[in-house]
Structure 1
């Protein structure tokens, strides 16, 4: 018996195996996007929003009910997390906007932000109220400081309001210390490309901003798609401008697409059928995981009429006003539990697996009210398909379950194991709490090899569930 086999034999003795308890984690929405109205005071040519609905403004009482979701939302830390008081439409045109802001609790400072085009006529009191509210970040759109160009891009003849508000904001900020963070956002267009450098300099020199975001329009099937496509620049022009922006030395976030990127997107092969022509239960599981592990899965959109849309139902659902906190808790639990359902594997037939020797590391073992999460990697034999994996849990009293796993490359593990060619299979699965009956479980990875046979790799530890 070789050394590896001796070590595995030792760990396979149940009484000598280490029992690992999952780390407790809080269930949170990654983001909640709440629009307090459904219209805008501009009609920017690049915008994807539609404005044919009847205008609806959320009242302050409803707002107070909706923000009961705040404790269930991840703190804002960049990357799209947090509580968006406005996302698609312009919040300042809601006549209840300041009253709504004034009702935000202290915790909102680390969770909330809003975006404004700053076009509504404002006085010093209005601007002071905006920046005094419990928000952590204010985004301000700035497409041009040239009146005719501004009015062309935004299809709004109120440049003088915008310019006055900018100047007033600058004056007010100079006399205050306790401020939210500010970020300017500019849509890079062929139309304003010659002004981008000046806009970045202006914002940095006149305002205490954390960053300036420069991005190109979304290209999708909207009425303005052709116009947006016409505003993308050549790859060479984008590279030149990008280098100029970097040379400024200012904190600028860039998400810039060129015409060449659009052509690559159009020519991309259709991979909707996956790597295989036939449908199997591995492919079906991958589809389920792709939905629940999407970047925006734990997002909730709240509409001004007190309905919400999630990634399970994708249609407006009325939010209970009698107990909105419980509604949001139930909705969050539903989303998490749906993740566990993606891993269900009720029809797996285990047929005489062959034991294999492989290093297994589970580097995340956590638990919340809905499920236990396993994330790790394995360096299996070269003959196995790392995309065809089933995870088996066997309880101390014989309770046995099979689960699919989302599989992915783990270059960090390749480097750790010194695999120059790379052969580490990464995996994640979610185990519904209520499906498990025993107190401790062993964990086995069941991979298929190229001939269709099953190779079993056993984790050296046990996991405590109860």
Structure 2
């Protein structure tokens, strides 16, 4: 029997199973909708003007009041626990939180649940006594980030444009004393240094200092953010050569402490600018969907930013909305549902034109089927080595009673692609789609995958299982 005949027989067998209702229908695994992170600032100013900072500080100073802060805390149960990489509840994000007159009162309002979620970032440059620092360390904070750009007074004052180095150094010394003198369960500590030409010769000593004097979780070294803001040109000039960065990275790797690095060189900066100048401008429907997938699957999509005036902004609408002080819990839940629902809206392929198709075989694998209140998420792998083109993969759902839906798939590189490819040679094309539960009319759906192979013919492959939607 020829390979083609075997191919067709397998497909006929699946069709028979369909007709006899023998396909196994799988119920998606339940998942809870959560914000990846909520970034808040209880004020909108800072006591320093660091040269690398992207904030202009041209607004009228505002401090968040306690009623607003209490309303903001209603979002805490909806935020993922801090797990590194920025997830969690940012007690402060852009500005310096300790200069808000109500800082300690806000800190004491943090409930026990915040201990797994909440972290703050401080420049540690305002005058602080032992009690002030003890109040920070005894609060329900998971992590405290501390900026450290230099221990050289002249360099410190030049980089931060703050002439009060003695306050900063005194606070470091006091922090060390409080930790050593008190038997207390303190938050994790992490120091952050921006690598600049101004402090490059001091980087190794800074890491050695923090590791020696404090029980730190890690010391992060990174280059300035690349964004379109006022200090961008100054920041670009601070990037070191590839040779210099490689030498610093090598020295950091030899240290006996945990160092997180996000260090770019001048060469990396050139590549970054070239990528921005050569963005894909294709405008067909699939390309438009891919652009929208970039938004809803961005690392910071399920983030909510809350400003000190009690307004918030999300990555879907990008407009400021006033938080309801009467029912903040409902406000945050509605906002969360809206963000999740937008993912399903992006995936919905309303005008797909199903053309003549060649029968395909099982070179597509589904390894995740889950659901939340907004959508069903279906993810898996394709095998490019077997002529499966994930760049134009469409998923077709056919309901038991005839309801038919089509969905675009995102073809982002999955975080576990290298690990998976090592185990299953050739399987490296990840895909995901989001199925709006409110639009489904049937309770059982067959799943077909439609893709183009290397000859650009349309291929359809039926999944061995189906989806149970009720």
Q: Which moved more, 1:428-437 or 1:262-271?
A: 262-271
The DSSP-based 3-state class of the residue aligned with 2:254 is: helix
From 161, 179, 185, the equivalent of 1:155 is 161
- In 2, the alpha carbon distance for the partners of 1:271 and 1:370 equals 35
* Equivalent residue, structure 2, for 1:330: 334
Aligned counterpart, 1:114: 120
Match of 2:197 among 187, 190, 204: 190
**In the alignment, is residue 303 of structure 1 matched against residue 307 of structure 2?**
yes
What is residue 31 of structure 2 aligned with on the other side?
25
Number of aligned residue pairs: 460
Q: Which runs of 5+ in 1 are unaligned?
A: none
How many Å separate the matches in 2 of 1:384 and 1:107?
Answer: 46
Distance 1:405 1:11 in 2: 24
Which residue, out of 398, 402, 419, partners 1:398? 402
C-alpha deviations, 1:121-180, integer Å up to 9, x for none? Answer: 111111111111101000111111111111111111111111111111111101223111
**Equivalent residue for 1:91?**
97
2:258 — aligned with what? Answer: 251
After superposition, the Cα gap between the structure-2 partners of 1:251 and 1:20, relative to the gap in structure 1 and judged at 3 Å, is same
Query: 1:451: how far off?
Result: 5.9
Stretch of structure 1 that moved more, 89-98 or 6-15:
6-15
RMSD over aligned Cα, in angstroms?
1.9
Tell me if structure 2 keeps the 8 A contact 1:358–1:379: no
Are 2:448 and 2:463, in contact at CA under 8 Å, matched by a contact in 1?
Answer: yes
1:336-361 CA deviation, whole Å, 9 max, x = no partner?
A: 00000001111112123221122332
CA deviation profile, 1:27-81 (whole Å, cap 9, x unmatched): 0010100011000000011111111100000112211110110000010000110
Give the corresponding residue for 2:52: 46
Contact 1:187 1:217 in 2 (8 A): yes
After alignment, is 428-437 or 449-458 more displaced? 449-458
Q: Could you tell me which residue of structure 2 aligns to residue 64 of structure 1?
A: 70
* Corresponding residue of 2:356: 352
What TM-score do you get using the length of structure 1 for normalisation? Answer: 0.94
Q: Provide the residue aligned with 2:184 in structure 1.
A: 177
Q: Work out the CA distance in 1 between the residues paired with 2:42 and 2:142.
A: 18
Separation (CA, whole Å) in 1 of partners of 2:387 and 2:255: 52
| Partner residue of 1:286 out of 290, 297, 306 | 290
* Structure 1 residues 307 and 187: CA distance shift in structure 2, 3 A: same
Verify: 1:103 aligned to 2:109, yes or no.
yes
Matched, 1:439 2:439: no
Aligned match of 1:315 in 306, 313, 319? 319
In structure 2, distance between residues paired with 1:219 and 1:349: 41
Q: Does structure 1 retain, via aligned residues, the 8 Å contact 2:138–2:184?
A: no
| Equivalent in the alignment of 1:125 | 131
How far off its partner does 1:449 sit? Answer: 4.2
CA distance in 1, matches of 2:262, 2:217: 17
Paired with 1:417 and 1:132, the residues of 2 have a C-alpha distance of: 49
Mapping for residues 364-375 of structure 1, pairs under 5 Å: 364-375=368-379
Q: Distance in 2 between matches of 1:3 and 1:452?
A: 23
TM-score, normalisation: structure 2: 0.93
Moved more, 390-399 or 357-366: 357-366
- 8 Å contact kept, 1:358–1:380: no
**Worse-matched range after superposition: 60-69 or 450-459:** 450-459
Determine the structure 2 residue equivalent to 1:139: 145
Q: How far did 1:290 drift?
A: 1.1
